[in-house]
A and B are shown apart, each in its own frame.
Chain A
Amino acid sequence: MPHVPGTQETAVKLVGVNKWYGKFQVLRNLNLSVARGERIVVCGPSGSGKSTMIRCINGLEEHQEGRILVDGTELTDDGKIGDAIRREVGMVFQHFNLFPHLTILENCTLAPMKVRGLSKAEAEEVAMHYLTRVRIPDQAGKYPGALSGGQQQRVAIARALCMKPKIMLFDEPTSALDPEMVKEVLDTMVGLAGDGMTMLCVTHEMGFARQVADRVIFMDKGEIVEEAPPAEFFDNPKNERSRQFLAQILH
């Protein structure tokens, strides 16, 4: 059957993925299948390869062995395929990575105009729609430096959404924020989850995981060690390493 974008039941599929940095193996035989609309929370100790896995899914990092399929398309080292996949996959970074020389509105309209070919007016309409959704339409004319961390991260989410991605990746979106700003970002993400967005989210926010995740993936030393619904994972972890990890983050 010919591949029709957006019709695949499996949004992301990893098959036997291995990755090395020099001699050091960061990812070990990762197998994962994420259904359309599914919400995955990835957790695990520092250095376990969570960021690396997330970044392999949109081709920011290359994997050396195994296959990664995004919406049915296999990610190869062909740059054009990578660009095409990244158009459909939004990413939110720990440190926001807004473009400091552009206004909030311009941050949100750049890619839709350059990549999707929207006119300025169309792109601004889309941008204002999503800026309203993350509840900062009134900051559109400001530069990122004038916003708080929580506001910047919400802009980063809106910027990604302006590309109308099919899948959203989050890499510790709240861990660089002051505690009082964590909630506003998590609320935005909960809203997104409510809309049926396919989400892969690296986070240690266990309340968020319990509230929205369909599955929690626990990684350690480059491996997926445990995979379970949040209630099961938090209340009754099967693996010894998961138990140790949970004991640490829950004190």
Chain B
Amino acid sequence: MRQFTDWQITTLLLDAAVWTVVLSLIAFVGGALLGLVVTVMRVSGKKPLERLSAGFIAAVQSIPLLMLIFLCFFGPAVVGVEISPWVAAATALILFAAAFLAEIWRSSIQAVPRGQWEAGKALGLRFLQVFRDIVAPQALRLAVPPTVGFSVQVVKGTALTSIIGFVELTKAGTMLNNVTFRPFFVFAVVALVYFALCYPLSYASRLLERRLASR
């Protein structure tokens, strides 16, 4: 057993938390981009595209995130491709975020009255123009609070990637516990760091919800 001061443990955990943040950002930004594509497909009115996107959303939402991570990590090995925990973790989280964001955004878009689509279409605007200039700006107001709220799920979701060996906050906590045998202290710090990351996001989500509702 090695001796670590409380301060050393804390700084090591904070270092690892950087990877939690980086992974969260990649998952959220990547998930948002892919989610946008899935959303547009979902509301395109084109049956094959709608089925494909609905199928993707249903599949990802019905699988525990942990299984998604396993599939992304062990799946490529089946076809002989070695893949780093890093890439597997990012891929799984991007898919996870894309599916949930697409579903949040679909419901925001469908809350915009049909007459808005029709009025845009009747003016000769193409589908993507109606979407971008008329529907999306109105849907955005409805979508912002739940989107920010969902980012909390992404941050917490990164903890599961520790299982395939990606060293982020949770994995670092497990490793430090193994050498220090101070589980309560180590995991209390881990929990505090998660709280510090997530609470501002849920707070912002609530604040935005009130702001946008009062307009």
Contacts and interface: CB of A to CB of B under 8 A. Distances in A.
Contacts of B126: 79, 83
Interface stretch (B63-71, B113-121, B158-166, B203-211): B113-121
Given A93-B115, A97-B115, A110-B133, A60 B121 contact: yes
A101 B124 contact: no
* Chain A CB within 10 A, most for which of B115, B124, B137, B138: B124
Contact of B123 (A84, A100, A159): A159
B108 to A, nearest CB: 14
Interface residues of A, number: 26
B33 interface: no
Nearest to B46: A79
A115 B115 contact: no
B124 A97 contact: no
Nearest to B137: A101
Contact of A97 (B118, B137, B138): B118
Interface string A180-194: 000000000000000
A58 interface: yes
Contacts of B120: 99, 111
Interface in A46-104: 58, 60, 79, 83-84, 86-91, 93, 95, 97-101
- Majority secondary structure, B binding face: helix
Contacts of B137: 101
Contact of A87 (B118, B119, B124, B138): B124
A187 B123 CA distance: 23
Interface residues of B, number: 18
A171 B122 CA distance: 13
Contact of A114 (B115, B133, B138): B133
A111 B124 CA distance: 7
A144 to B, nearest CB: 11
Contacts of A58: 122
A101 B1 CA distance: 63
A163 B119 contact: no
B125 interface: yes
A226 B167 CA distance: 78
* Chain A CB within 10 A, most for which of B122, B133, B138: B122
A110 B120 CA distance: 9
B153 interface: no
A160 B123 CA distance: 7
B142 to A, nearest CB: 12
Contacts of A101: 137-138
B42 to A, nearest CB: 18
Given A93-B115, A97-B115, A97-B118, A111 B123 contact: yes
A91 B118 CA distance: 10
Contacts of A97: 113, 115-116, 118-119
Interface in B105-148: 113, 115-116, 118-127, 129, 133-134, 137-138
B64 to A, nearest CB: 39
Contacts of B122: 58, 60, 86, 89-91, 93, 160
A101 B119 CA distance: 14
20 contacts: A60-B118, A60-B122, A79-B126, A79-B127, A86-B122, A87-B124, A89-B122, A91-B122, A95-B115, A97-B118, A97-B119, A99-B120, A100-B138, A101-B137, A110-B125, A114-B129, A114-B133, A115-B124, A163-B123, A163-B124
Interface of A: 58, 60, 79, 83-84, 86-91, 93, 95, 97-101, 110-111, 114-115, 156, 159-160, 163
